[in-house]
Structure 1
């Protein structure tokens, strides 16, 4: 990020990131059900596996990626899915992918590393990211994600996740990661 780029965070008119309470109120307003679970902060898939207990359903990892041209993606896949960035880039049209910086993550999604999820797209008010979902992930019900904070998890149906994304104006690319090995 250049020095001239602001890092004020995402949100309406650069007002800063929206909060988990605002996100949950948005989901309630849309009639999209969820089960909320509070827990100690989780920063990695390994943390999640160790501390989630009996939380059922699909557990996912979320990759905030960019290419050299500044295009950005949020890739959401099952937590144990092996992802080769070179092969994924080829599947996404030849992009040379790398991980976005924590500053860029805060600027566009309003979250810290460890709190990334498709629900962070609530803060991408200019719709600058492309969303890629793991096809197999969508066979799990419920799916578990952090709602803008890594000390909470919401369990949602795949239909609820897709309805949330579409309400925000995203039509996610659904990729069969089994073919991008």
Structure 2
């Protein structure tokens, strides 16, 4: 049974994690998130749930305004074959969330080793990052090192990365219809 948002928040409270919780209408894109949550202090994020040609899954968290060239990004992730967005069914199956609620915290619902978690180095250096706690109607402002520790303890080590220089064609920006935002 996957963690619910309330389960996750209770677990964080039990650990003594300090995080600010913000309730808001559902946000499914970066633009909607900024409209409702843009004034929350901390770095805002965009999250991608990707799969490669061998059906390996990657949960990637970037700055909200980052642009990604999927072809160049394959090497960063160690992906084999082309990268594509995972289906909504794969989101539910592997992360226990719906589109719009993706964040690295969703890895708590994945089998250890079943999803590789990557967080952009610039976010790991921020004082706080803003993430959905498994639903698109809440945003949690939390210290990045806390996220890394929680995921590591649950068997989901985080790999930091720096975006490669962008080529051209398969660039993903903040308004893509198939992106899973957070």
**TM tier, smaller:** 0.7 to 0.9
| Equivalent runs, 1:95-114 vs 2, <5 Å | 95=80, 96-114=82-100
Is structure 2 residue 154 aligned with structure 1 residue 149?
no
Corresponding residue of 1:125:
111
Select between 139-148 and 99-108 the one with higher mean Cα deviation: 139-148
| Equivalent runs, 1:56-95 vs 2, <5 Å | 56-95=41-80
Is structure 2 residue 32 aligned with structure 1 residue 47?
yes
Q: TM-score, normalised by structure 1?
A: 0.86
**1:126, CA displacement in angstroms?**
4.2
Corresponding residue of 1:158:
144
Corresponding residue of 1:20:
5
Question: In the alignment, is the contact (CA less than 8 A) between 1:91 and 1:180 conserved in 2?
Answer: no
Number of positions where the alignment pairs a residue of Structure 1 with one of Structure 2: 165
Q: TM-score, normalised by structure 2?
A: 0.86
Give runs of ≥4 in structure 1 deviating > 3 Å.
Answer: none
- Superposed CA RMSD in Å reads 1.3
| Structure 2: 5+ residue stretches without partners | 167-182
Corresponding residue of 1:6:
none
Secondary structure of the residue aligned to 1:68 is coil
**1:125, CA displacement in angstroms?**
3.1
**1:164, CA displacement in angstroms?**
1.2
Change (3 A) 1:69 1:50: same
Question: In the alignment, is the contact (CA less than 8 A) between 2:95 and 2:108 conserved in 1?
Answer: yes
Question: In the alignment, is the contact (CA less than 8 A) between 2:25 and 2:137 conserved in 1?
Answer: yes
Corresponding residue of 1:32:
17
| Structure 1: 5+ residue stretches without partners | 1-10, 12-16
**1:68, CA displacement in angstroms?**
1.7
Question: In the alignment, is the contact (CA less than 8 A) between 2:112 and 2:156 conserved in 1?
Answer: no
